[in-house]
């Protein structure tokens, strides 16, 4: 089962203000989360998934998807609910 944890493990923490960037890479993907709890500007709190160049024939170019942390949490809930093939809640 894939479990994604989008809760902050701070790189910089001052009181209630928290800013951090975390990355994880696999053979096929790069995952990145960028958080700034003080900022409300567009793009300050994002999750990015980027494909790596590969010699696999089905992958023809590099692709990237960027979503807000709120959208990523909805995606996380979806994966956690259905990744094992069992319906645990209504979508």
* Cα 82 to Cα 91: distance, rounded to the nearest angstrom: 9
pLDDT in tens, 29-67: 999 999 887 777 777 789 999 988 766 656 567 789 999
* Cα 71 to Cα 83: distance, rounded to the nearest angstrom: 17
Q: How far is CA 46 from CA 7, 12, 42, 43, 51, in A?
A: 13, 17, 9, 6, 17
Pairing of the two strands 29-36 and 46-51: antiparallel
Contact 32, 47 (CB under 8 A): yes
pTM: 0.65
Residue 86 binned pLDDT confidence (cut-offs 50, 70, 90) = confident
């Amino acid at each position: 089962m894939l479990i994604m944890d989008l809760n902050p493990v701070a790189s910089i923490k001052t009181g209630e203000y928290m800013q951090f960037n975390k990355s994880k890479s696999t053979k096929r993907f790069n995952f990145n989360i960028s958080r700034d709890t003080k900022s409300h500007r567009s793009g300050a709190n994002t999750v990015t998934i980027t494909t790596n160049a590969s010699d696999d024939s089905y992958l023809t170019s590099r692709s990237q998807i960027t979503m807000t942390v709120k959208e990523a949490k909805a995606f996380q809930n979806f994966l956690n609910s259905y990744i094992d093939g069992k319906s645990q809640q209504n979508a």
